[in-house]
Chain A
Amino acid sequence: GDSVTQMEGPVTLSEEAFLTINCTYTATGYPSLFWYVQYPGEGLQLLLKATKADDKGSNKGFEATYRKETTSFHLEKGSVQVSDSAVYFCALSELGDMRFGAGTRLTVKP
């Protein structure tokens, strides 16, 4: 069945460092891809999405490009801030049910 594999954490970076969190997927059809973020003590929030190949989702300085040829949707940010510390989940949806990766915990130190 459809599934998502994302980079294991935790990831610790200094403020203003470059961030990449890898995500690859397996799907029988053409899923939509998402990144969700979970801040401490809060629920999941949509960070960005892409609905078809070569689409780029972006929000709050984060970007991810839907790469069908490599079945990937890696999350990037050029300069992280302390406030970006959270758990990041890659997810796909093909028929309405969202499949999530295990999550990657990011800690950004001042």
Chain B
Amino acid sequence: ETGVTQSPTHLIKTRGQQVTLRCSSQSGHNTVSWYQQALGQGPQFIFQYYREEENGRGNFPPRFSGLQFPNYSSELNVNALELDDSALYLCASGSPDGPYKDNSPLHFGNGTRLTVT
């Protein structure tokens, strides 16, 4: 089975710019979640998509938005970048049974390292 792949692996942007990060979910998974991991911290939940609709969101402002496509690949978009947005962004895919099987472990990609200058 294919794993979760993210692109790009590294990215440098300037404050105020916009960025799009991409993720291909693990085969057979139709739930995708995005996390922000600041240096030395645990991942923080941004939002989750199930079958192309957002169905859960963490404490992040609206300038963090996402999309999930029919093939279950996903994008994370961040507008008006701020210095504090510098972090590792992780994508994770979940159980094919949907988002409420809360005992389903997530399968993580290796992340995109975003640096905002």
Chain A residue nearest to B3 in the complex (CB): A43
Q: Which of B33, B41, B109, B111 sits near A98, CB closer than 8 Å? A: B33
Within 8 A of B (CB), among A89-110: 89, 91, 93-103
CA–CA, A45 to B31, complex, Å? 17
Is chain A's interface secondary structure helix, strand, loop, or mixed overall? strand
Report the tally of A-B residue pairs with Cβ distances under 8 A.
Answer: 70
In the complex, A69 has a CB within 8 A of chain B: no
A73 to chain B, nearest CB (A): 14
Give the chain B neighbours of A102 by CB distance below 8 A: 40-42
B contact residues, range: 20 to 34
Do A96 and B99 have beta carbons less than 8 Å apart?
yes
Q: Which of A34, A43, A96, A103 contacts B56 (CB 8 A)?
A: A96
Contact indicator B102/A32 (Cβ below 8 Å): yes
B96 within 8 A of A: no
Q: Are B100 and A45 interface neighbours, CB within 8 A? A: no
B residues lining the A interface (CB < 8 Å): 4, 31, 33, 35, 40-45, 48, 50, 55-56, 58, 90, 92, 94, 99-111
28 contacts across the A-B interface (CB closer than 8 A): A4-B42, A32-B103, A34-B105, A43-B4, A43-B90, A43-B108, A43-B110, A44-B90, A44-B92, A44-B108, A46-B106, A49-B103, A51-B103, A91-B42, A93-B103, A95-B100, A96-B33, A96-B48, A96-B94, A96-B100, A97-B48, A98-B33, A99-B45, A100-B35, A100-B43, A102-B40, A103-B40, A103-B42
